[in-house]
Amino acid sequence: MEELLRGLEGLLGEVREKLSGSPDPQAAEALRLQALGRRGRLNEYFSRLSEPQWNPKERSALGQRLNAVKKELTQLFDERLTQRPGASRGPHLDLTLPGFCPPAGRLHPLTQTTDRITAIFRGLGFSAVEGPEIETEENNFEALNIPADHPSRESFDTFYLQSLPKLLLRSHTSPVQIRFMKAQGPPFKIVVPGRVFRRDAVDASHCFQFHQVEGLAVGPGITFGDLKGTLLAWAKQMFGGQARLRFRPHYFPFTEPSAEGDLACSLCQSRGCSVCGQKGWLEILGCGMVHPAVFKAVGFPAGTVGFAFGMGVERIAMLKYGINDIRLFYENDIRFLQQFP
């Protein structure tokens, strides 16, 4: 019995000593298994409890001592393994070290802006579709009521392709309207993001390529008021609940009536500042009721009604994030790109 109790004290002392030597977590765990594990030394002592040499009194005393040692050992290991600061001299957890996260990339701001615009219109019941960047003259112009030798072509200075006659780089996303309507009849509501091209020299506010999001809703009973409401609902989600839009009569060959949509300048509360060029309003979109000639071009019956709109993604991103040079989008300097979420 004495020998057994000595052995127990020895085990306790040994564990204390080894743990105070601040072993690494694996060594501490090995030590724990050695002492407290299923086949560990303490269990060996417990198993000796059933030996026939002990009388009941001895057995109970031994049992009590064994349980006490077990409790103490468990406590020792718990303290060690939970690493109470100051409780051990081992490497402590430095809470001020930089956190670690596998490095992820980001989406380009134009993608983020396009996705946001599109997602809002999806929420309003629009479906997203796409179209090709090389277009026919017919889809890009004639079917949209922009005849050759008409001054309205001036706003669409277009790139043509050599050795591919009658083909051009689309100067707006509107030809997708034509493609879609030739494939499918009303009612529908679609939104069309995409890249477009105009023969503009590159400077801080112009580029020969940019991105648009086009919208088209056709169905019985659609009104000009629905166009206003849809765009207003979009603007409030895009720019915040306080956003205001105003609609100004304008001219587009493919809509009648036509309007330009201006966003109230949030910097000056429409009083006029340098951002809005003292106008108080920022032009952000063009829209209108689809011109009957467009419906005629795709073979829809007379009396069909619908609205269409289009907006520039770069322009909206520049307004939203205070970007003053369109070239930043295409340079891909990571110091610019990584400012976006």
C-alpha separations of 250 from 31, 253, 280, 287 in Å: 83, 10, 18, 9
Nearer to another protein, 81 or 202 (CB): 202
Among 14, 29, 115, 137, binds another protein (CB under 8 A): 115
Stretch of residues binding another protein (CB under 8 A), selected from 35-43, 72-80, 82-90, 215-223:
215-223
Q: What residues numbered 242-301 form the site for another protein, per CB under 8 A?
A: 246-251, 256-259, 289, 291-292
Two structure tokens written together for 223: 């009104």
Among 13, 91, 123, 229, binds another protein (CB under 8 A): 229
Nearer to another protein, 34 or 209 (CB): 209
5 lines the binding site for another protein (CB under 8 A): no
Q: How far is the CB of 154 from another protein (least distance, A)?
A: 7
In sequence order, the 6+-apart residues with CB closer than 8 A to the CB of 251 are 152, 258
Q: What are phi and psi of 204, to 5 degrees?
A: -60, -30
Q: What residues numbered 52-81 form the site for another protein, per CB under 8 A?
A: none
Q: How far is the CB of 28 from another protein (least distance, A)?
A: 23
Q: Minimal CA–CA distance to 1: which of 56, 58, 57?
A: 58
Q: What residues numbered 150-209 form the site for another protein, per CB under 8 A?
A: 150-152, 154, 159-164, 167, 169, 180, 184, 187-190, 195, 197, 199-201, 208-209
- HEC letters along 245-308: EEEEEEEECCEEEEEEEEEECCCCCCCCCCCCCCCCEEEEEEEEEECHHHHHHCCCCCCCCEEE
Under 8 Å between Cβ of 141 and 147:
yes
Stretch of residues binding another protein (CB under 8 A), selected from 1-9, 19-27, 80-88, 103-111:
103-111
- What are the contacts of 63-71 at 24+ separation with CB within 8 A? 65/5, 65/8, 66/8, 66/42, 69/8, 69/11, 69/12, 69/42, 70/36, 70/42
Q: What residues numbered 304-323 form the site for another protein, per CB under 8 A?
A: 305
Nearer to another protein, 81 or 204 (CB): 204
123 lines the binding site for another protein (CB under 8 A): no
Total of residues contacting another protein (CB under 8 A): 85
Q: What are phi and psi of 282, to 5 degrees?
A: -120, 120
Among 43, 74, 111, 266, binds another protein (CB under 8 A): 111
Nearer to another protein, 95 or 334 (CB): 334
